[in-house]
Amino acid sequence: MELNDRLDKFEKLVSNEHSNFLSKLEYYRANKKWINQSSKVAINVLEALKQKGLSQKDLAKKMNVSAQQVNKILKGQQNLTLETISKLESALEISLIEIIDLKADQKIVNISNTKERIKLSLKQMEKAMPGVRQQVAVYEKNKTLNTQKNHH
C-alpha cells in the first residue's frame, strides 16, 4: 500500500468533530479513587445478584429505585451515597463497606495503655520484691522473738 493510499484511509478515519477524550481523562484522574471503589461495589453487587438468582429489576424493586438507577450502579461509574450503599446492603443482605467506629478503637487503645501500665507496675514490683521479702523476713523474725519473750 502506497503512502498516498494510507493517508487517504487515515483522513477517512479522522473526524472533524472535537474529541472530549482529554476532558474525560482529566475527570477520571480527579475522581479515580471513588470510581475504583464504585467499580468494586458493582462487582460485589453483580456477584450477589448471581448468587441469589436475582435480576436487576428485582434489585430495583427491593431498593425502591428505578431499573435505570440499578443499571448505573452496576456500571460502576456512579458516585454512590451512603444511603444507596445501605439500600444495596439491605436488599442483598451483604456488607459492602465497613465504617470504623473510632470509639471502639479508642477503647482498644485504652485497654492497651492499661495493660502497659499493669506490666510496668508488675516490673516495678518485681524489682522491689527482694527488699520487701527481706523486710517481711525481718518482721517475721522480730514477731517470733517477741512472742518467745512474752511466753518466758
Q: What is the pLDDT of residues 75-131, one digit of tens each?
A: 987 889 999 999 999 999 999 988 776 666 666 666 666 666 766 666 777 776 777
Look up residue 151 and give its three cell numbers. 511466753
- Residue 120 is predicted with a pLDDT of 66
Look at phi and psi of residue 64 and say left if phi exceeds 0, alpha if psi is from -120 to 50, else beta: left
DSSP symbols for 82-127? HHHHHHHHHHHT--------HHHHHHHHHHHHHHHHHHHHHHHHHH
For the residues 141-147, what does the mean pLDDT come to?
Answer: 77
Contacts of 46 (CB under 8 A, 6+ apart): 74
**Percent of the chain's residues with pLDDT above 70:** 81
Residues with Cβ within 8 Å of 91's Cβ and at least 6 positions away in sequence, in order, are 59, 62, 63
Q: Is the pLDDT of residue 44 over 90?
A: yes
Confidence class for position 69, pLDDT limits 50, 70, 90: very high
Residue, of 61 and 150, whose pLDDT is higher? 61
Question: How far are the Cα atoms of 41, 72, 121, 147 from residue 38, in angstroms, in the given order?
Answer: 5, 10, 50, 83
CA distance 46 to 138: 78
Residue 141 pLDDT more than 90? Answer: no
pLDDT more than 90, % of the chain:
41
Q: What is the pLDDT of residue 2?
A: 85
Q: What is the pLDDT of residue 21?
A: 86
pLDDT for 63 beyond 90: yes
* Residue 75 · residue 42 · CB < 8 Å: yes
Query: Cell 465504617 maps to which residue?
Result: 99
At 7, the pLDDT band (50, 70, 90 cuts) reads: confident
Identify the three-state secondary structure at position 16.
Answer: coil
Q: Is the pLDDT of residue 145 over 80?
A: no
Q: Which residues contact 79 (CB under 8 A, 6 or more apart)?
A: 31, 34, 38
Average pLDDT taken over every residue of the chain: 83
